[in-house]
Amino acid sequence: MRELPQGPTPPRNGDAIETDLLLSRRAILSGAGALALLGVAGCSTSGGGDLPALQLDDTVTGSVPIRPSISVDKNITSPHVMYASLTDNGFNVPEVPYLKVKPEFRRQIVVDTTGEAPGTIVVHLKERMLYLVQPGGDAIRYGVGIGKDGFRWSGRANIQYGREWPTWTPPPEMIQRKPELVKWQGGQPGGLTNPLGARALYIYQDGKDTGYRIHGSPEWWSIGQAMSSGCVRLINQDIIDLYSRVSKKNPVVVM
């Protein structure tokens, strides 16, 4: 029994016991009041019986899980920075009027929903999106233009190699459809008007060239459209970014 403060008249034993009981009752009521305040503040407990031991949790009221923040990347920033003009290998790549590009087609980090291994390039033809899967559950997403009906390819393959400011050589069947392209049957040098844009990634399947590419395009307005001859095209600033992130042997899934 702890000693009580001394007053003018020392308490009797019964008084001390009664005072201790009173203090204990006040402590219990104070604890209950604190718990009630926690309940009002929005904290929740599971069950409804005894309170569990205090532990850190990743849930909020209503048991909605909190996902860790997506990764931060110095090249995923505001659109006016990502799509500004730049000089690359002596070529002055013009600024993209990004306000004319739908927000969903601009480069951004998203939660990965592909289920593929990190490093895999996934092209969703219906969505007009390309995903580069990242470690930790994220993906970098780019808007793309795809092939017209009858010119699309799908399947699993690999990037065999890549080229900066590649030469474009129209296939014979394209020259038949567009005779004006005969001037490039020996190859159009890389440049700002080259259909392959600033970079090209060459898709091979079982060691054979599919004839399909993931490449840049000066026609930024074609992103989100189905108007190519089968290849997957990105804004030039986006293909430069994607190209810098791949090993040139990445697996590719087009679906």
Residues identified as active-site:
215, 231
According to DSSP, the β-strands at 155-164 and 232-235 are: unpaired
The identity of residue 130, as a single letter, is: L
- Cα gap 225→234, rounded to integer Å: 11
List % helix, strand, coil for the chain (3-state, nearest 5). Answer: 25, 30, 45
Q: Report the phi/psi class of residue 203: left, alpha or beta, with left for phi > 0 and alpha for psi in -120 to 50.
A: beta
Strands (DSSP E) found in the chain: 59-60, 64-65, 86-88, 91-93, 108-111, 121-124, 129-133, 138-143, 146-147, 155-164, 199-205, 208-217, 226-228, 232-235, 251-254
Please name which of 201, 124, 195 lies closest in space to residue 158, comparing C-alpha atoms.
Answer: 201
Please name which of 153, 161, 146, 157 lies closest in space to residue 120, comparing C-alpha atoms.
Answer: 157
| Angle in degrees, CA 96, 97, 101, rounded to 5 | 100
Are the C-beta atoms of 83 and 98 separated by less than 8 Å?
Answer: yes
CA dihedral (171, 174, 175, 180) in degrees, to 10, reads -130
